[in-house]
Structure 1
Amino acid sequence: MGKIILVTGPARSGKSEWAETLAMQSGKAVVYVATATDNPDDQEWHQRILEHQQRRPQDWVTLSVPVELSATLADAKPYTCLLVDSLGTWVANLLEEEESSWESIVAELLETVDLVAADIVFVAEEVGWGVIPAYPLGRAFRDRLGSLVRQLGVLSNTVYLVTGGHVLNLSILGYPLPNRGDSGTFRGQDS
C-alpha cells in the first residue's frame, strides 16, 4: 500500500507548497491531480491557477480531474505520487449532488484510497474555524469538506497542518479520534 498524506490549513497558508515539497521528496514520478477548472473570464481565479502551474517542475504530469477523483486514484501506478490539490474545490464541484449520492461518492473515494498502491498527498482547506455560513449551500460545503477531511485524516499515515507560516505534524503532536461507532477509548494525554 502507498503512503497517504493529508495537508490541511487555511487559505494562502502554504499548504499547496508544502504538499509539493512532500511530493518531490517521495522520490516517485509525481502526478498533479488538479481539481480546479480554469475560467479565463475570472482573472483572479485564472491567476491563482497560473501561480500553481508555474511552481510545478516541468517533469510532473498534470491531470485535470474536477469530479472523477476515485477513478483517477484507482488508475494510479505504484511508482507514482499523486498530489491532489484540492479537496475543497473537488467538494465544491460536487456540491449540487443530493446527500445520498454524496455519501456514496465519499464512500467510494475512501474505499479507493485504502486500496491504492501509489503514494497520495491530499491538500484540503480548513473551513470550520469561522462563523457558520448563513446560507444552506455554504453550510453543506463546510460540513461535507469538514467530514471528508476528518475521515481522510483517520486513514492517513501523516497529517500536517500548515498555518502561520509553520508546518505542524499532527500525527506526532496529536491523537486520532476514534471512528464514529467505535467502542474503543480515546488515548489522549489524560488517559
Structure 2
Amino acid sequence: MSVTLVTGPVRSGKSRHAEQLLADQAVVTYLATGRRADDGDPEWAERVHSHRRRRPEAWGVVETVDVEPVLRSADAPVLLDCLGTWLTGVVDEAGWDDLDAARAALRERVAGLLGALRAAPVHVVVVTNEVGWSLVPTTASGRLFQDELGRLNAAVSGLANRVHLVVAGRVLDLTAAPLVPDHLPPRTLDA
C-alpha cells in the first residue's frame, strides 16, 4: 500500500504527528516496539502511559519486536512506534556484549523489516528518532546504535511514499527532497 516515515529528535512531537496522520481511521494497529510499561522503570512507564492515553480506544495494540508478521498480515493501517526501540530490542536479543553478532542479527532483521514494509497490504506510518546530530558516542555500543539507526532510517526513507521531519513541534515535509545516492558514479578522467 504505502509507507509514511515520521522522523525527528526526542520529544519533538513525532508520535503525536504520526497519530494525527491516522486520526481519521476507525481502526488502527499500534505496533509498539519498546519495553513494556511494567518493567520497573517509572519514567518509562509514564512515557508508555502518555502514549496510551492519547490513542483512541478502538485502536488495537501489539507490543513486539517481531514486527514482520504483523506488517504482512495487517488488515487495518499500522502505526509502528518506533524504529529506535525496535533496533534496541533486536540488539538486546543478540546481546550488546558481541557487537559483531548484533550487526549480523540487524542485517537479517532489517532486511525482513524492509521486505515487510514493501509487502504491507495497508498504509503504515513508521516513527523513528534522528540520532547523531551531535557528538559521536564514546562507546562502541553507542556508535553501533547511532550508525545502525542512521542506516535504517535512510533505508526506510528510500522506500517511503512520504517522509516528514518533526522538529520543535513543527512538521517539515521532505517527500520531494532528493535522496542521497548509495555511491558516487565512477569518475572519468579527461585526457
Other-structure match for 1:76: 74
In the TM superposition, what are the counterparts of 1:1-191 in structure 2 within 5 Å? 2-25=1-24, 27=25, 29-36=27-34, 37-65=36-64, 67-77=65-75, 80-96=76-92, 97=94, 98=101, 99-172=103-176, 174-178=177-181, 180-181=182-183
Q: How many pairs align?
A: 177
- Aligned in 2, Cα 1:182/1:156: closer, same or farther, shift over 3 Å? farther
Q: Distance in 2 between matches of 1:41 and 1:104?
A: 31
CA positional deviation for 1:39: 3.3
CA positional deviation for 1:85: 0.5
SS in 2 for 1:95: helix
Aligned partners of 1:4 and 1:119 also within 8 Å = yes
CA positional deviation for 1:101: 2.2
Q: Distance in 2 between matches of 1:161 and 1:83?
A: 16
Q: Distance in 1 between matches of 2:77 and 2:172?
A: 21
Larger Rg over CA atoms: 2
Aligned partners of 2:87 and 2:106 also within 8 Å = no
CA positional deviation for 1:38: 2.0
Mark the runs of 5 or more structure 1 residues left unpaired by the alignment.
Answer: 185-191
Q: Distance in 1 between matches of 2:59 and 2:143?
A: 35
Aligned partners of 1:28 and 1:81 also within 8 Å = no
Other-structure match for 2:97: none
- Aligned in 2, Cα 1:183/1:72: closer, same or farther, shift over 3 Å? farther
